Amino acid sequence: MDFVWPTPNTAFVEGEGLSAMIQPTVSGELMSGTFGAVRNGGTRFHEGLDLKPVMKRTRKGEATDPIYAAFSGQVVHVSSVAGRSSYGRYVVLLHNSDGVEFYTLYAHLASVEGALRKGQQVDAGTVIGVMGRSAAGYSIPKDRAHLHFEIGLVLGGSFQPWYDRQKYTTPNYHGNYNGMNLSGFDPLDFANAYREGRAASMAQYIRSLPTAYVLRVNAEGVPAIVKHSPALLTAPIPEEGAAAWDISFTWYGLPTSFTPLRKADVGAMDKPGVIRIRAINRDIVASNRARNTVRIKNGKPSLYKDQSNWLEMMFGRKLGSSGK
């Protein structure tokens, strides 16, 4: 698994601090360009890194930094129309690492490399576009041009039916690579783990992330995310098939492990389609103000609608929910 920093900036490789690589928001707060609950006083989530330009700008003040594929992989989505997403112009690549399929996303591009095509195989370090400030619905000023960079897992293998059920008024131009179907983790934390030898494979890294809660989903069949990332299984799928699943999640909703269950493992409370909270780290969950995953109200844990939606994307069907 060869990892390449996605911009020409050498700050990370040379061990420099965040100020040498991160582009903050209009607030000027450096952490606002990093991953996590970093915006609006910790109440707004940011699912990637905003990386600043370092190359000489054009006469009109536009960034010129080339953007590189962070890993070898396949081009699965090219969105060249800026107005179709808050990502602006963006590219999604799909990669495999020892039984885990993961994506990288490169957003707010000024332009996409002209030869880049869906289905194309690219090597780590291949130029895929030019850094910019494209977006839909808002304007990024020239002095804050940046690359929004994500790494994560694709939740569902058939996103469109879920999208259609929501009755949104705008079309889904992005297939399975709509941002709602993508669950990212901290690229900088991964990069540090990779450099320090704690991420020899993507499975090793993802399984090392702290568990905030475990959900039992009483749904038969194998979700697409498990088929594409079998290294996240904690046990083999029973010969007769899985009757339900225990799934571990980070506080921000990234699934990190899947345990298939037999019918004999499923209790009387686990009716078909029901989601139950099996375990919860109350300290981690209580500190989360930025992500609608699991909450504790009047001492009792429950699911937010967002978490239920992510599970429905993963399983490709409507599900219910109940308490712990």
**pLDDT 10s digits, 301-323:** 999 999 999 999 999 988 876 65
DSSP character for 231? G
Q: Are residues 153 and 176 in the same domain?
A: yes
φ/ψ of residue 5, rounded to 5 = -60, 135
Rounded to the nearest integer, the mean pLDDT of the chain is 95
Q: What is the pLDDT of residue 264?
A: 86
Q: Do 25 and 93 lie in a common domain? A: yes
Query: With helix as H, strand as E and coil as C, how does 76-133 read?
Result: EEEECCHHHCCCCEEEEEEEEECCEEEEEEEEEECEECCCCCCCCEECCCCEEEECEC
pLDDT given for residue 320 in this prediction: 76
Which of the listed residues 165, 194, 223 is the one where a domain comes to its end?
194
How much is the pLDDT for 321? 67
Asked if 217 and 190 sit in the same domain, the reply is no
Query: Looking at the predicted structure, is the pLDDT value of residue 1 above 90?
Result: no
Q: Are both 183 and 266 inside the same structural domain?
A: no
pLDDT value of position 323 = 54
- Asked if residue 230 and residue 190 are part of one domain, the reply reads no
User: Percent of the chain, pLDDT > 70?
Assistant: 98
Domain end: 194, 225, 257, which one?
Answer: 194
Does one domain contain both 188 and 254? no
Using CA atoms, how far residue 266 sits from 25, 214, 218, 278, in Å, is 47, 15, 8, 12
Q: Are 191 and 251 in contact (CB under 8 A)?
A: no
Residue 290's domain comprises: 209-315
| 156 and 249 within one domain | no
Q: Does residue 130 form part of some domain? A: yes
Residue 12 has pLDDT above 90, yes or no: yes
Q: Is residue 121 part of a domain?
A: yes
Give residue-wise pLDDT tens across range 164-195.
999 999 999 999 999 999 999 999 999 999 99
Tell me which of 318 and 211 has the higher pLDDT.
Answer: 211
Residue 206 in this model has a pLDDT that exceeds 80: yes
Q: What is the pLDDT of residue 266?
A: 86
Cβ neighbours, 10 Å, residue 90: 28
pLDDT of residue 273: 86
Task: Tell me: do 177 and 298 sit in the same domain.
Answer: no
**Is 10 among the domain residues?**
no
The reported pLDDT for the residue numbered 271 is: 78
One domain, residues 152 and 33? yes
Q: Is residue 218 part of a domain?
A: yes
Q: How far apart, in Å, are the Cα atoms of 142 and each of 10, 89, 122, 135, 317?
A: 22, 16, 29, 13, 43
Residue-level pLDDT at 267? 72
Q: What is the mean pLDDT of residues 286-299?
A: 93
202 occurs within a structural domain: no
So what's the pLDDT on residue 272? 81
Check whether residue 41 and residue 159 sit in a common domain.
yes
- Cα 245 to Cα 25, 35, 179, 199, 236: the distances in Å are 40, 29, 25, 26, 12
**Across 140-154, 204-218, 271-285, least confident range:** 271-285
- Whether residue 97 is found in the same domain as residue 244: no
**Domain edge (last residue) among 167, 194, 221:** 194
Q: 60 and 188 share a domain?
A: yes
Whether 5 maps to a domain, the answer reads no
What's the rounded mean pLDDT across residues 110-135? Answer: 97
CATH number at residue 34: 2.70.70.10
Q: What is the pLDDT of residue 312?
A: 95
Q: Residue 166 carries which side chain, given as an amino acid letter?
A: Q
Could you tell me whether strands 147-154 and 111-112 are parallel, antiparallel, or unpaired per DSSP bridges?
A: unpaired
Asked if residue 13 is part of any domain, the answer here is: no
Rounded-to-integer distance, Cα 313 and Cα 183, Å: 11
216 has pLDDT over 60: yes
Average pLDDT over residues 70-88: 97
222-274: pLDDT as tens digits = 999 999 999 999 999 999 999 999 999 999 999 999 999 998 888 766 678 89
Count of domains for the chain: 2
The answer to whether 26 and 33 are in contact (CB under 8 A) is no
* Mean pLDDT, residues 142-165: 97
Residue 185 lies in a domain: yes
CB 106 within 8 A of CB 113: no
